[in-house]
Amino acid sequence: MSAIRHALSTKREDDFAQWYQEVIAEAEMAEESGVRGCMVIKPWGYGIWERIQRLMDERIKAAGVENCYFPLFIPLSYFAKEAEHVEGFAKEMAVVTHHRLIGDGKGGLVPDPEAKLEEPLIVRPTSETVIGAAMARWVQSWRDLPLLTNQWANVVRWEMRTRMFLRTSEFLWQEGHTAHADREDAMAETLRALEMYREFAEGPLAMPVIAGEKPENERFPGAVATYSIEAMMQDGKALQAGTSHYLGTGFAHAAGIQYQDKEGTQQYCHTTSWGTSTRMIGGVIMVHGDDDGLRVPPQIAPQQIVILPMLRDDDGDAALLAYCEDIRRSLAAQSALGEPLRVLLDKRPGKATQKRWAWVKKGAPLILEIGGRDAAAGQVSLLRRDRLWNAAAKPDFRAMPKDEFLGIAAGEIEDIQVSLHAEARARRDANITRDVTSIDALATFFSEDKRYPGWVELCWARPTGAELEGVIKTLKELKLTIRNTATDAAPASGACVFTGRPAVERIYVARAY
Amino acid sequence: MSAIRHALSTKREDDFAQWYQEVIAEAEMAEESGVRGCMVIKPWGYGIWERIQRLMDERIKAAGVENCYFPLFIPLSYFAKEAEHVEGFAKEMAVVTHHRLIGDGKGGLVPDPEAKLEEPLIVRPTSETVIGAAMARWVQSWRDLPLLTNQWANVVRWEMRTRMFLRTSEFLWQEGHTAHADREDAMAETLRALEMYREFAEGPLAMPVIAGEKPENERFPGAVATYSIEAMMQDGKALQAGTSHYLGTGFAHAAGIQYQDKEGTQQYCHTTSWGTSTRMIGGVIMVHGDDDGLRVPPQIAPQQIVILPMLRDDDGDAALLAYCEDIRRSLAAQSALGEPLRVLLDKRPGKATQKRWAWVKKGAPLILEIGGRDAAAGQVSLLRRDRLWNAAAKPDFRAMPKDEFLGIAAGEIEDIQVSLHAEARARRDANITRDVTSIDALATFFSEDKRYPGWVELCWARPTGAELEGVIKTLKELKLTIRNTATDAAPASGACVFTGRPAVERIYVARAY
């Protein structure tokens, strides 16, 4: 059995970070823009985002949440109102100070000193403040509650170290913001959003996640409780792929979001916020990619089946293209995963094998190669991206009659969606360790020569304040963080790894992005 | 016959500008945000934008154009490269100069002087420069052409006088950018986009437009030719609702977009750009609104049919709601205008008549009121928003058996789409004057006591340079502008109104937004 020659030059096990950059480049998902910390999202990457947007938006609307659009700019004074909130953003934000350019007398342009803004404007890092101001106008009575809004938008956080999709100065996201009459209703919404994210990750993204509550030091600034979904990447690190916050009445106090209850008394609202972003695409790459490039789960693939006619620039091409077009039409009339199949007939010039490898690197779920002889024989040749290689280290093409393929195509697409999830789930579960019962054992576990050590689930006594700070410091020395406590965690048992006191809950500890 | 009491306090004929603001407020489409020149787009307004986005995006994709996302920020130096381009934007742009805030020692925040950017960043007013830089990377050979990209994004132009939807500092739009091998191919794309916009306006927006070429003084800065679609508002003014530009090779020279042709020679690309924005919503309001509020064309209505159960807070409500839900389900299973019907059962608390008028002001195409007795009798009561009043000055409800209604509902929706277009088309055509043959006659025409004078179609000799400047100045004194020359205009005849020379083409002259 000969060695497989992979489509990428870097293997995951050799240099995961380099492999990640290579997948993004070779799959033509995104590239550096020339603008510090900002990327250009190319058609294949943006197509995946469009699929994510559509499927997430359906879920948001189904929950009765209405989309709005709020300003890109937030006056500086709005931030001063929420000191605690600002503190958490480390104040690293893009500040607009001028509204005009003028010539500098040397052929260049400079901000016009005459056009300095009286009050600087901040490019939104998140929209709690400006949406809070709107909520204060919109909410008058208990009849106006709950107020459920969402926004799809770009936001900017001035990041010092950026990595495409995972941490960029500008990124795209949705931010849900809701106001409620009481704690119970707001907490129910916080957990509804968390469950929506969990189902979205496990479903369309085929990405297993732990949904749970973050420890108090990891809360969103100003939040009473912060929940997250955490996914395990193939290097064993955790990626926070979505968050949901119960904000108590703190933001309502700062923005003046009040309502008159049924008894006629003025009350402050309880608010929530929840968000997911283009960061999810980074997660999809690091969960499903392999040494041949990306593998896109069919539900979020811009194209699920790519048909590659093996054109020869001769008289036979017309019949071949007609045969391929007939297959494309038959497929497009079918459905899988609740939607019509998305099928591309790639007629562009170029060698068929080069085009095949381009689609392998992009991760199109099913690739169909069809030559003139296949067309004459009524055959197709089928390649599943998730099972690329056969035992002989060759691409595992399956030849079959066209009609047989048309009968199984939708089922293959659905099977790929399930298989990618099962594969990621098995890997994740195999890399969670539960038998670490001391700090020394934890240190030993993560210091061993394991390239991808995975996560450790620990029992702890949920220390707070200074004691928690000590725990965080200990973990930090091991380059570890607490990810979350699963909402469906088993009861804790035994002693707290950090304090020796009886444990009260389980936490996941991991290296993280 | 008694006088009709309209749902708005301002009539179009009394104060069109005030009426416009009132529709936006009463239909809950948008509101001032507290951030200078920026609006908050509320659910009904944003829902209309989502419909516009979806239908426009389908057309863009069908033309083979691929969506991408480019950075919000553009380095200052990119603008200096295109002096002519910048000139046209009057340099009124939002300038980011700092990337951090710090406390001012008095409890406030200020931009950190230590965090001043080496090079200021401009919040994109349009993306030619940054997309041009990407195209220069992406295009190498004739095989890479045409390169067809589009972006859905927010852009910022620092406007001194703003008006919601029509002119806001931040607005939402799509911007298409394409690169081609030669003039012919680029011009074909420019005209394809123009035709896409014309069909979109006349179709989904039910808004008749003149598609044509702008005069040279109205070209996009740096463009070789600029085309627009122009719609007539109910006050007779013109609204430019979309533009398409053939940019020649000027932008390609500035950005270095070159390709190797089949003979191996380096050539500069010919580029185009084309855009439409949230401004279209302002057009929809001013074309279709009436003295009772907005009337939304069914194709872009977030909800096409609103069912209002006349709840009485008694035991009968359950049966009434079940009856209404049954109707909702039957409607949602039907299609009109090529898509499933969008139907809302509005169960919120509140008086039925108040809710009716709220939906009338929002412009939902069909309103269904159903009381307990209707439910018992198997009836419904139907109100078409586009034909609100009967001869007795009462809302023109039509009662009919449920099954009869279910049989006509889709047809009513399609008829409303057609009727709104026909009404707007008849009004527009009736307000175009073609018998003005001198500047004096033009001045007289627009000085007469006509509140809404409409447009004048003139024949002219297409003067250029200083002679054109003279014409523009003459028109400016009459508060008039040249809108465009229709691509399907009849041949010119007679003498040029401005120069007396033989006329060579027809132009539309109008007051404009």
What pLDDT, on a 0 to 100 scale, did the predictor assign at position B82? 63
What pLDDT, on a 0 to 100 scale, did the predictor assign at position B352? 85
What pLDDT, on a 0 to 100 scale, did the predictor assign at position A254? 92
Residue of chain A minimizing CA distance to B92? A100
Interface probe with B: pick from A28, A32, A35, A303, most Cβ of B within 10 Å: A35
Report the 10 Å Cβ neighbour count for B198.
22
On average, the pLDDT of chain A sits at: 94
Query: Could you tell me the domains of chain A?
Result: 16-96+125-288 (3.30.930.10), 303-418 (3.40.50.800), 432-510 (3.30.110.30)
pLDDT in tens, A314-366: 888 999 999 999 999 999 999 999 999 999 999 988 888 999 999 999 999 99
End-to-end CA distance of chain B: 38
CA-nearest of A174, A219, A238, A229 to A197 is A229
- Cβ distance A172 to A277 under 8 Å? yes
In angstroms, the CA A207 to CA A473 distance is 30
On average, the pLDDT of chain B sits at: 95
Residue of chain A minimizing CA distance to B111? A95
Does the pLDDT at position A87 exceed 60?
no
pLDDT band at A483 (very low <50, low <70, confident <90, very high): very high
What pLDDT, on a 0 to 100 scale, did the predictor assign at position A277? 98
What pLDDT, on a 0 to 100 scale, did the predictor assign at position A85? 52
In angstroms, the CA B168 to CA B277 distance is 11
A176 touches chain B (CB under 8 A): no
pLDDT in tens, B75-101: 998 887 665 554 554 578 999 999 999
What pLDDT, on a 0 to 100 scale, did the predictor assign at position A316? 86
Partner-chain residue, chosen from B93, B99, B149, that has the shortest CB–CB distance to A94: B99
What pLDDT, on a 0 to 100 scale, did the predictor assign at position A448? 75
What pLDDT, on a 0 to 100 scale, did the predictor assign at position A90? 55
Q: Higher-confidence residue: B48 or B106?
A: B48
What pLDDT, on a 0 to 100 scale, did the predictor assign at position A104? 81
Does the pLDDT at position A418 exceed 60?
yes
CA-nearest of B128, B148, B153, B126 to B138 is B148
B31 CB burial (10 A radius; 0-12, 13-18, 19+): middle
Could you tell me the pTM of the whole model? 0.96
Partner-chain residue, chosen from B35, B74, B154, that has the shortest CB–CB distance to A35: B74
What pLDDT, on a 0 to 100 scale, did the predictor assign at position A313? 87
In angstroms, the CA A301 to CA B167 distance is 37
For every residue of B375-444, DSSP letters joined together read HHHTEEEEEEGGG-B-TTSSB--EEEEHHHHHHHHHHHHHHHHHHHHHHHHHHHHHTEE----SHHHHHH
Partner-chain residue, chosen from B91, B96, B110, that has the shortest CB–CB distance to A123: B96
Q: Which residues of B touch A69 (CB under 8 A)?
A: 40-41, 46, 49, 172
Partner-chain residue, chosen from B75, B91, B350, that has the shortest CB–CB distance to A35: B75
- Cβ distance A266 to A259 under 8 Å? yes
pLDDT band at A106 (very low <50, low <70, confident <90, very high): confident
A38 touches chain B (CB under 8 A): yes
- Residues 117-146 on A with a CB inside 8 Å of B are 120-123, 130, 133-134, 137, 143
pLDDT in tens, A225-255: 999 999 999 999 999 999 999 999 999 999 9
Does the pLDDT at position A1 exceed 60?
no
In angstroms, what separates the C-alpha of A385 from chain B's closest C-alpha?
Answer: 24
pLDDT in tens, B439-453: 999 999 998 767 778
Encoded tokens for A224? 């009473």
Report the 10 Å Cβ neighbour count for B34.
15
Interface probe with B: pick from A96, A117, A159, A173, most Cβ of B within 10 Å: A96
Q: Which residues of B touch A96 (CB under 8 A)?
A: 94-97, 123
Q: Using the structure block, give the residue that is written with the tokens 């920020």.
A: B73
Residue of chain B minimizing CA distance to A171? B71
Which segments of A14-166 does DSSP mark as H helices, in order? 16-26, 43-62, 76-80, 83-88, 128-138
Give Cα B371 distance to the centre of its chain. 38
CA-nearest of B338, B106, B112, B138 to B257 is B138
Instruction: Provide mean pLDDT across the span A501-505.
Output: 96
Instruction: Provide mean pLDDT across the span A489-512.
Output: 95
- The residues, ordered by sequence, that sit 6+ positions from B310 with a Cβ below 8 Å of its Cβ are B320, B352, B369, B370, B371, B372
- Cβ distance A420 to A386 under 8 Å? yes
Encoded tokens for B121? 């960043």
What pLDDT, on a 0 to 100 scale, did the predictor assign at position A81? 66
What pLDDT, on a 0 to 100 scale, did the predictor assign at position B18? 97
What pLDDT, on a 0 to 100 scale, did the predictor assign at position A315? 87
Contact B68 A42 (CB under 8 A): yes
| Rounded to 5°, angle at Cα A185 from A180 and A190 | 90
Contact B96 A93 (CB under 8 A): no
Partner-chain residue, chosen from B41, B72, B100, that has the shortest CB–CB distance to A154: B72
Amino acid, single-letter form, for residue B40: V
User: Positive or negative, the Cα torsion across B309, B310, B313, B316?
Assistant: negative
In angstroms, what separates the C-alpha of B470 from chain A's closest C-alpha?
Answer: 28
Instruction: Provide mean pLDDT across the span B300-318.
Output: 94
pLDDT in tens, B189-200: 999 999 999 999
Encoded tokens for A322? 């007609």
Instruction: For chains A and B, count residue pairs whose Cβ atoms are closer than 8 Å.
Output: 189
Contact A67 B43 (CB under 8 A): yes
Partner-chain residue, chosen from B97, B108, B154, that has the shortest CB–CB distance to A95: B97
In angstroms, the CA A65 to CA A434 distance is 39
Does the pLDDT at position B365 exceed 60?
yes
- Residues 143-172 on B with a CB inside 8 Å of A are 143, 149, 153-154, 156, 158, 170, 172
- The residues, ordered by sequence, that sit 6+ positions from B34 with a Cβ below 8 Å of its Cβ are A75, A130, A133
**Hey, what long-range contacts does A222-226 have (CB within 8 A, 24 or more apart)?**
A222/A82, A222/A84, A222/A85, A222/A88, A222/A128, A222/A247, A222/A250, A222/A251, A223/A247, A223/A248, A224/A248, A224/A250, A225/A187, A225/A190
In angstroms, the CA B141 to CA A199 distance is 45
What pLDDT, on a 0 to 100 scale, did the predictor assign at position B350? 84
Query: For A473, how many CA atoms within 13 A lie in the half-sphere containing its CB?
Result: 6
In angstroms, the CA B458 to CA B428 distance is 16
What pLDDT, on a 0 to 100 scale, did the predictor assign at position B85? 52
Instruction: Provide mean pLDDT across the span A461-474.
Output: 95
pLDDT in tens, A429-443: 999 999 999 999 999
Integer CA distances (angstroms), A136 to A131, A150, A178, in order: 9, 16, 12
pLDDT in tens, B204-261: 999 999 999 999 999 998 999 999 999 999 999 999 999 999 999 999 999 999 999 9
Report the 10 Å Cβ neighbour count for B452.
16
What pLDDT, on a 0 to 100 scale, did the predictor assign at position B91? 79
Contact A67 B91 (CB under 8 A): no
pLDDT band at A390 (very low <50, low <70, confident <90, very high): very high
- Residues 348-367 on B with a CB inside 8 Å of A are 349-350
Least confident of A38-47, B38-47, B158-167, B202-211: B158-167
What pLDDT, on a 0 to 100 scale, did the predictor assign at position B189? 98
